[in-house]
Amino acid sequence: MECHRKLLLALSFGVFSIINLVQAQPDQQGFISLDCGLPPGESSYTDTVTGLTFSSDADFIQSGLRGETGDTRTYTYRQYKDLRYFPDGMRNCYNLTVNKGINYLIRAGFSYGNYDGLNVYPKFDLHVGPNMWISVDLEFQNDREIIYMTKSDLLQICLIKKGTTIPMISTLELRPLRNDSYTTQFGPLNLIYRRAYTSDTSGFIRYPDDVFDRVWDRYNWFETNVNTTLNVTSTNPFLVPDAVSRLGISPLNATKPLFFYASPGDGNKLIVYFHFAEIQALKANDTREFDIFLEGNVIHRAYSPKLLQSETKYNISPQKCRLGSCDLDLVKTQRSTLPPLINAIEAFSVLEFLYAETNPNDVAAMKIIQAIYGLNMISWQGDPCVPELLKWEDLKCSYTNKSTPPRIISLDLSSHGLKGVITPAFQNLTELQKLDLSNNSFTGKVPEFLASMKSLSNINLNWNDLTGPLPKAFHDREKNGLKLTIQGNPKLCADASCNNSNQKYVLPVVASAASVLIVVAVLILILVFKKRRPTQVDSLPTVQHELPSRPSLFTQTKRFTYSEVVAVTDNFERVLGEGGFGVVYHGSLNGTQPVAVKLLSQSSVQGYKEFKAEVELLLRVHHVNLVSLVGYCDEESHLALLYEYAPNGDLRQHLSGERGGSPLKWSSRLKIVVETAQGLEYLHTGCQPPMVHRDVKTTNILLDEHFQAKLADFGLSRSFPIGGETHVSTAVAGTPGYLDPEYYRTNRLNEKSDVYSFGIVLLEIITSRPVIQQTREKPHIAAWVGYMLTKGDIENIVDPRLNRDYDPTSLWKVLEIAMSCVNPTSEKRPNMSQVTNKLKGCLTLDNSRRGGRQDMGSRSSVEMSTSFSTEVTPNAR
């Protein structure tokens, strides 16, 4: 009779199990399965192991390059063969459309496979929206998983670059879960482990066995293995798969508890889900009953698993762990005749996502603006405002506190080559205070909605192709403090008079215009007779008028036409060099004055914004150690800069021996860096506002006919704040090796970033070695010098071509200065005034040396700090 009852019970559970499977039939509804790096033209495919359908990630991300793993292993899952890597930008984000307010399982998969041949495991961070999810080190673990409740219909998964390695990803998967299962109200759940306990540890249990595609690790805890071939039903929201519930363990010693542990790490709290099902046929007098403990706290007392039915017990409130690890114990009660039994455990750390996402209306407006005008800037990924260090370039936000969504208050889209009408999407930025759309090609009328934006107090529409009269609403707003500028729009007038509706003014206007034309014609005739031949470029008049299509840069320099630039360079006959802006040519004014002509190439990574920045800077700064601007060309698509010519090339050429001849003497090197320091000091302290060069390097230190140093290439220069502010947040720019690691890491720019780069220059003049050389013990020059100092191998630091022809104390003091300049922390670096004064002292020491050479042993009198990080080689954007 007892056997008959158990058979009926088993059959009934089997029926319920079949019904449950039909209701939860796996159909991948709501699944997102991306094979990252799969070519966009390649069709979706079905994974032969799981039956999951994967497609290319190309439509979900705007950046990155595709690659294939260099590992020749046969992968269990096809999607790990391809990958996408991100050499450019600090933040690269996937944009996924989801349902707001739903718990999603998010899984990011990685298979490095030495795809780049460097055999260096990447390290980077993963963010969910603006918040830090986890730091990834692919040397120790591959896939990452989190359960997260979405806050909007857009979910962004971002890879954040840190250090020198390049982020990469193989697969990205989203699976919608039931909201009545996993507890996310305390914060997202980062998976520590998910284990199905069994002695058979081959393979994983996942889709289609698990309708949510959770990946269960078959795990051997070296206890007594328990299993059944009968179906186990799951009627609770967790829907633990039958393949998991049919497995289990009990303790080897039936009198002992089952114990486990979990480590949430980094001070996080823990939530553990214990999954139970009785899978043994109990005798009439048998009882299985146990208490469930988490870190000594009772989760459930006197619990008895149900026969062939899965149940889940978990701690309602997240648990803090002592010593970083929590104990999980299943302890048999006194009345129990059988030991504890468990089928599976899921352990999660509860993350604290501090940042509220930017106001969703602002985000939606920016996405529309980005799409309409094709603004595919590398920094415009992820959340526009947070975290602040990664905010989008060209906008500013207001920050109340971390839990309040930031608002966009300033948007600068000047000089972005934008065309078409001004989109109404701008009015959805309801907290916008400043809007700069100058120096673009906007057409049509000035939209009246701009005047109705209550927060907007500053609008710059200069240098576009706007037409018609300015709506009256703007005049009313100007009375209340609105600042509106509309220069350089020849078809736009400030009032309704351009409608020409009042005909009585036509004749007077025509008469006045005719008079003006006559006067202009007479003036032109006079100028024609007085004008010298066009080849005499040196007599070109100074610019006293506004440029036709872009703002007047300044009025006290010479503006050349493109045809004049062709003549000056003799049709671009002699190339001097090539950089990010374009090719540099040799030129001559009037056949006597040599000049260097830098011509913007069509494929240049820089553009009009950098061109304009360099011209404006050089027109307002004048220093003997900064290169002088002779003139510029700004004619339609032709942009060129004309500089004073430096016949002795750049410092890098002399240190590397590229120019031949005798190596630079120490006294010459020291004089050159003193003069360069003076130029930098002037930028930092003599300019109003102060300027950061952002690209100090030996190739940008030019040498004139007297070997006087001239700092050049100001296209990346930025002004920095004075007073209370200590930095300006901006996208990272510069040259690998010279780039300040703190600026690279935080996007916070100040004058100390130039100090770091100058410190690298000092190390170059001492060693004459490449800034980055992969074949030496430490590839970066600062790390290598520090390494050699700690070894005591000081003599091998100095360029042997100097033949000890220097004052030792002078050289070692310069080395000390250099090492203080490359300190990873900007606050610990000297400023340029201090650097300049110290270098002048070194130059005095070298000039005053008398008779013979001092022994190298005198270096011991110089105390050097060698405690600095070796991670000093961020890549430039």
The band of 187, judged by pLDDT with boundaries at 50, 70 and 90, is very high
For the ranges 65-74, 389-398, 738-747, which has the lowest average pLDDT? 65-74
Contacts of 628 (CB under 8 A, 6+ apart): 618, 622, 643, 644, 710
pTM of the model: 0.58
pLDDT confidence of residue 609: 66
Tokens, residue 750? 């100040």
**pLDDT of 533 strictly over 60:** no
pLDDT confidence of residue 578: 75
Contacts of 457 (CB under 8 A, 6+ apart): 433, 434, 481, 482, 483
Per the listing, tokens 């430490």 go with 778
Q: Which of 695, 713, 799, 807 is catalytic?
A: 695
Alpha-carbon span 715 to 617, nearest angstrom: 9
| Residue 778 exposed, middle or buried by CB count within 10 Å (0-12, 13-18, 19+) | middle
pLDDT digits (tens, 9 = 90+) for 290-340: 999 999 999 999 999 999 999 999 999 999 998 788 999 999 999 999 999
Question: Mean pLDDT, to the nearest integer, of 688-713?
Answer: 89
**pLDDT of 583 strictly over 90:** no
pLDDT confidence of residue 458: 95
For the ranges 452-456, 603-607, 810-814, 867-871, which has the lowest average pLDDT? 867-871
| Residue 557 exposed, middle or buried by CB count within 10 Å (0-12, 13-18, 19+) | middle
Asked if residue 490 has a cis previous peptide bond (ω within 30° of 0), the answer is no
pLDDT digits (tens, 9 = 90+) for 130-185: 999 999 999 887 799 999 999 988 999 999 998 889 999 999 999 999 999 999 99
pLDDT digits (tens, 9 = 90+) for 53-99: 999 999 999 899 999 987 655 467 789 999 999 999 999 999 999 99
CB 619 within 8 A of CB 570: no
**pLDDT of 867 strictly over 90:** no
Question: Mean pLDDT, to the nearest integer, of 665-674?
Answer: 95
pLDDT confidence of residue 498: 61
Residue 364 amino acid letter: A
Question: Mean pLDDT, to the nearest integer, of 808-833?
Answer: 92
**pLDDT of 522 strictly over 50:** no
The band of 425, judged by pLDDT with boundaries at 50, 70 and 90, is very high
Q: Is 454 annotated as a binding residue?
A: no
Contacts 24+ apart (CB under 8 A), 176-180: 176/29, 176/30, 176/31, 176/99, 176/102, 176/103, 176/104, 176/105, 177/102, 177/103, 177/104, 177/105, 177/147, 177/212, 178/103, 178/237, 178/239, 179/101, 179/102, 179/103, 179/149, 180/237
For the ranges 255-264, 477-486, 557-566, which has the lowest average pLDDT? 557-566
Q: Is the dihedral of CA 546, 552, 554, 557 positive or negative?
A: negative
The band of 399, judged by pLDDT with boundaries at 50, 70 and 90, is very high
Look over the chain and give the mean of its residue pLDDT values, rounded to a whole number. Answer: 83
The band of 728, judged by pLDDT with boundaries at 50, 70 and 90, is low
The band of 278, judged by pLDDT with boundaries at 50, 70 and 90, is very high
pLDDT confidence of residue 618: 73
Alpha-carbon span 225 to 370, nearest angstrom: 58
Alpha-carbon span 86 to 71, nearest angstrom: 19
pLDDT confidence of residue 288: 97
pLDDT confidence of residue 685: 87
pLDDT confidence of residue 159: 97
Q: Is the dihedral of CA 525, 529, 531, 533 positive or negative?
A: positive
**pLDDT of 592 strictly over 80:** no
**pLDDT of 547 strictly over 50:** no
Which domains, from first to last, does the chain contain? 32-177 (2.60.120.260), 193-350 (2.60.120), 363-499 (3.80.10.10), 535-645 (3.30.200.20), 651-877 (1.10.510.10)
DSSP structural state of residue 800? G
Q: Considering only CA atoms, give the Rg of the chain.
A: 35
**pLDDT of 129 strictly over 80:** yes
Alpha-carbon span 704 to 674, nearest angstrom: 15
CB 803 within 8 A of CB 853: no
pLDDT confidence of residue 3: 42
Give the up-direction half-sphere exposure of residue 294: CA atoms within 13 A in the CB hemisphere. Answer: 21
pLDDT digits (tens, 9 = 90+) for 505-518: 333 333 444 444 54
**pLDDT of 357 strictly over 80:** yes
Helix 808-821 / helix 781-791 crossing angle, nearest 10 deg: 120
- Of the candidates 192, 203, 195, which has an alpha carbon nearest to the alpha carbon of residue 222? 195
> What's the residue count for the chain?
877
The band of 523, judged by pLDDT with boundaries at 50, 70 and 90, is low
**pLDDT of 502 strictly over 70:** no
Highest mean pLDDT among 61-75, 523-537, 619-633: 619-633
Which residue did the predictor score with more confidence, 629 or 126? 126
143 is catalytic: no
